């Protein structure tokens, strides 16, 4: 085969064969194909798309470019979740121990975040001593012994995806649905799960800005999973305003623990309950956890009576973290400057733009723009209002946690841009727009 022929074929809007896709991925990963030719093929895919069989072939080729994790020694059926990324999305910190409290083993590999705040690993490292760098033997042993492990990648999973994503990032080809779908699903498949719940965000704070685009991406990923024998569920969830109140690493972790204690923001709590319900539905395989309301009631009981919190605390301790931080939230990293934002007028909250709140958090140092960038765990924004809330002039609408005056000034401007008002009642935003099943 010649890569120039493959490029020309996709340029001319012809579908590639499975063998052509496999050959390209293998040779690009090994370094035989140079970046300029790979970039040309990516642009042809971006412009002309891929048929379903091509997307499945690309997904499997990337998944098989590295190691495939075998979780069969933990349980005969494993489940995983993935979020397409959102502002204030600390869902894994609650959902994983919540599902594990039903004696469903969870072995989750997460990453560090790029953008407005850190990823799940950054948040969990607010617990001193917590070890995210487990070798594979320890990762699997903890999953068997404790039923819950959360760590970074123990193997070289889907290295082709990492290499191709870096190239997409600098060639303007990120926003391609087949490339996005295959990127996400290749890592999920390599991580060994039998059932996968996808949380695909839609809104100004998400990669997919409208519901239809998010639904198209979700359906594509569900179809990929089903094509290779996975059970799939995808939800389309709102990201036009932050999920919960906190946006920032330590303050999001605190909010997650408050939710595990039976409290937490109403929208975030409900979001976690729904994702946990869907994960249990898959884990039950049609014989357990099938009655939606009954299961949801039991999930809420596990939050309220401390069973989910107990699983979380056990995980922290098992991976070397200080569990006293779970019991005493005052130990968490704290910012030196606390600045309150008040409502500029009386009326109703018209918008709390998630993208602008994300920009405020990034300006404070809560996130990173490069993979090796150090982040400030203590800083962030707590947004006290939701779209549709009635508000009086002078009431607190947000609190900024900062460590530098100049960064605070920039964050204040973003927060003020994010929150707008109306003198007429405003409809609240839904948590979810759709659910897509595939088995």
Q: CA-CA distance, 6 to 17, in Å (whole number)?
A: 9
Taking residues 126-153, report their average pLDDT.
Answer: 93
Specify the pLDDT at position 177.
94
User: What residues contact 61, with CB distance under 8 A and at least 6 apart?
Assistant: 21, 22, 24, 25, 26, 160
Residue 154 has pLDDT above 80, yes or no: no
Q: Which helix (H) or strand (E) holds 226?
A: helix 211-227
Specify the pLDDT at position 145.
92
Q: What is the pLDDT of residues 57-87, one digit of tens each?
A: 999 999 999 989 899 989 999 999 999 888 9
Specify the pLDDT at position 247.
96
Q: Which two tokens stand for residue 438?
A: 């595939």
Helix (H, G, I), strand (E, B) or coil at 273: helix
C-alpha pair distances (Å), 75 with each of 107, 193, 283, 310: 10, 11, 11, 21
Helix (H, G, I), strand (E, B) or coil at 422: strand
Residue 114 has pLDDT above 70, yes or no: no
Radius of gyration of the chain, Cα coordinates, nearest whole angstrom: 22
Q: CA-CA distance, 96 to 79, in Å (whole number)?
A: 10
Tally Cβ neighbours within 10 Å of residue 114.
16
Specify the pLDDT at position 129.
97
C-alpha pair distances (Å), 318 with each of 80, 91, 311, 312, 322: 20, 21, 10, 10, 10
Q: CA-CA distance, 326 to 332, in Å (whole number)?
A: 9
By annotation, the residues acting in catalysis are 82, 161, 168, 183, 187
Q: What is the pLDDT of residues 354-405, one digit of tens each?
A: 999 999 999 999 988 776 778 999 999 999 999 999 999 999 999 999 999 9
Specify the pLDDT at position 410.
97
Q: CA-CA distance, 401 to 245, in Å (whole number)?
A: 13
Taking residues 418-429, report their average pLDDT.
Answer: 97
Q: What percent of the chain has pLDDT over 70?
A: 98
DSSP-assigned letters across all residues of 310-369: HHHHHHHHHTT--THHHH-GGGS---SEEEEEE-SSSEEEEEE-HHHHHHHHHHHTSSBS
Please state whether 335 falls in left (phi above 0), alpha (psi between -120 and 50) or beta: beta
Q: What is the pLDDT of residues 299-336, one digit of tens each?
A: 999 999 999 999 999 999 999 999 999 999 999 999 99
Q: CA-CA distance, 316 to 326, in Å (whole number)?
A: 9
Q: Which two tokens stand for residue 259?
A: 């939710």
């Amino acid at each position: 085969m010649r890569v120039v022929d493959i490029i020309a074929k996709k340029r001319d809007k012809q579908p590639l064969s499975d063998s052509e896709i496999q050959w390209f991925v293998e040779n690009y990963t090994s370094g035989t194909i140079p970046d300029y030719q790979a970039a040309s093929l990516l642009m042809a895919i971006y412009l002309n798309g891929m048929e379903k069989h091509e997307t499945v072939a690309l997904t499997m080729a990337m998944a098989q470019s590295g190691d495939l994790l075998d979780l069969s020694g933990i349980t005969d059926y494993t489940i995983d979740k993935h979020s397409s990324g959102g502002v204030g999305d600390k869902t894994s910190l609650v959902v994983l121990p919540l599902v594990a409290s039903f004696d469903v083993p969870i072995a989750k590999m997460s990453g560090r975040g790029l953008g407005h705040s850190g990823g799940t690993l950054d948040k969990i490292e607010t617990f001193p001593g917590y070890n995210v760098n487990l070798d594979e033997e320890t990762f699997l042993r903890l999953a068997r012994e404790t039923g819950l492990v959360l760590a970074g990648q123990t193997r070289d999973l889907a290295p082709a995806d990492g290499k191709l994503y870096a190239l997409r990032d600098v060639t303007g080809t990120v926003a391609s649905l087949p490339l996005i779908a295959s990127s996400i699903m290749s890592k999920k498949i390599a991580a060994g799960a039998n059932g996968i719940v996808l949380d695909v965000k839609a809104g100004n704070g998400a990669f997919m800005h409208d519901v239809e685009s998010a639904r198209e991406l979700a359906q594509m990923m569900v179809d990929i999973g089903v094509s290779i024998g996975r059970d799939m569920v995808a939800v389309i969830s709102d990201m036009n305003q932050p999920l919960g109140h906190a946006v920032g690493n330590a303050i999001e972790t605190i909010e997650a623990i408050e939710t595990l204690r039976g409290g937490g923001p109403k929208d975030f709590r409900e979001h976690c309950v729904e994702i946990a319900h869907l994960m249990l539905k898959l884990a039950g395989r049609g014989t357990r956890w099938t009655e939606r309301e009954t299961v949801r009631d039991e999930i809420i009981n596990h939050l309220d009576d401390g069973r989910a919190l107990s699983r979380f605390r056990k995980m922290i301790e098992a991976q070397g973290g200080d569990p006293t931080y779970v019991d005493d939230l005052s130990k968490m990293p704290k910012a030196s400057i606390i600045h309150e934002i008040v409502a500029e007028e009386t009326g109703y909250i018209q918008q709390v733009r998630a993208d602008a709140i994300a920009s405020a958090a990034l300006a404070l140092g809560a996130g990173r723009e490069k993979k090796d960038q150090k982040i400030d765990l203590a800083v962030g924004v707590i947004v006290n209002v939701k779209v549709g809330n009635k508000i009086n002039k002078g009431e607190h609408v947000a609190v900024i946690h900062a460590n530098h005056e100049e960064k605070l000034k920039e964050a204040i401007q973003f927060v003020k841009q994010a929150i707008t008002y109306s003198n007429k009642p405003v409809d609240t935003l839904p948590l979810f727009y759709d659910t897509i099943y595939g088995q």
